[in-house]
Structure 1
C-alpha cells in the first residue's frame, strides 16, 4: 500500500463506488486530466492493485434471494483433499466465497441460492464430490450491510 498516494486512493475510492465512471467524470471528481487518470489506473492494473472491473447484480432480482453460510469441518487435511475441495468449490457458481478458518471451524463457505431446495442441491453436490466430517448452515434472514468497497 506504500506505493499508493492520496490521488490513487481517491481514484480507487471513486472506482469502487462506480467503475463505469468515464475518465472525464473521474478526472473532474479527482481534479486530474483524463489522461493522468488513465495512466494512474493502468499502473494500478499492471501492479495488480485493480484486479478487475465488474457490474454488481441484485441477487433478488435474478432469483438468488437466499444467502447461506456453510460451516465445514473435515478430518482430512492432506494436500490432495485440499485440491479436490478447492476445485469442487471453485466449480460451483453458487459459491461466492470459501475461507480457511482458524479455531474450531475448518472452512466457511458463502453461497447464494434461490431457496432451501437450491441449498439442498448445492449441499448434495458438494458432499458427493468431497468427503466432509460435518456441514452446518446458517441462513441470512436480513442483510443489514453488504459492500465490496475496501476502506482506503
Structure 2
C-alpha cells in the first residue's frame, strides 16, 4: 500500500529520474537513507519499471509524427505474434495499441519528415499482411509526456 510520500516520490522521479536522492528526500521530509530505501522498495514492487532519458525529437532528427490506423482480416494468435514481431523490428514505430471499434490497431510512428512514412509502410507490409492502413499526420502536439497520475496507485 502506497502512502502520500511514496506517491510524491513517484511524481518527482517521473519528472526527473536523475534527481539526487537527497533532493527527493528533502522534498518528502525524509532522511536520504530512508528515501533511498523507499525508492528501492518501489522498484522491487514494480511501481518503477525502469529509468530512461527522454530525448529531444527535433535534435534526434525525428520531429514528424504519423498515426497509422490498421485494419486486418486476421485475428489468430499466430498473426498477432507475427505482427508484434514486425512492429518491434521497426524503430520508427514507437507505440502500438490494439483497439476496439472500426480499426484493429493504431501505431505512433516518428519520422525525419512525412515522406519517410512510405519507407516504414513498405517495411511493414513486406513483413505482415494488412487489410487497410490509413495514415494521419500530426499537425501539432497539444500534450505529450510519460508521466502518469499516481493518485490511483495502491
TM-score interval, smaller chain? over 0.9
Q: Aligned with 1:82: secondary structure?
A: helix
Secondary structure at 2:107's aligned position in 1?
strand
Shift of 1:61: 1.2
> How many residues are matched?
150
Q: 1:133 aligns with which of 127, 131, 154?
A: 131
Task: Report 1:17-32 matches (<5 A).
Answer: 17-32=15-30
Question: 1:113 deviation in Å?
Answer: 0.8
Q: Distance in 1 between matches of 2:88 and 2:39?
A: 29
**Residue among 116, 119, 126 paired with 2:117:** 119
**Residue 56 of structure 1 corresponds to which residue in structure 2?**
54
* In 2: Cα distance, 1:88 partner to 1:133 partner: 16
Query: What are the ranges of 5 or more consecutive residues in structure 2 without an aligned counterpart?
Result: none
User: Runs ≥4 in structure 1, deviation > 3 angstroms?
Assistant: none
Give the Å deviation of 1:90. 1.2
TM-score (norm 1): 0.96
Larger CA deviation: 110-119 vs 99-108: 110-119
Tell me how far apart the structure 2 counterparts of residues 133 and 144 of structure 1 sit (CA, whole Å).
31
Give 1:116 shift. 2.1
Aligned CA RMSD, in angstroms, stands at 0.8
**CA distance in 1: counterparts of 2:137 and 2:34, whole angstroms:** 46
Which runs of no fewer than 5 residues in structure 1 stay unpaired?
none
2:42 corresponds to which residue? Answer: 44
2:81 maps to 83
Deviations 1:22-64 (A, max 9, x none): 1111111111111111111111111111001011111011110
- CA separation in 1, counterparts of 2:13 and 2:38? 12
Residues 1:66 and 2:64 are matched in the alignment = yes
**C-alpha separation between the residues in 2 aligned to 1:69 and 1:117?**
14
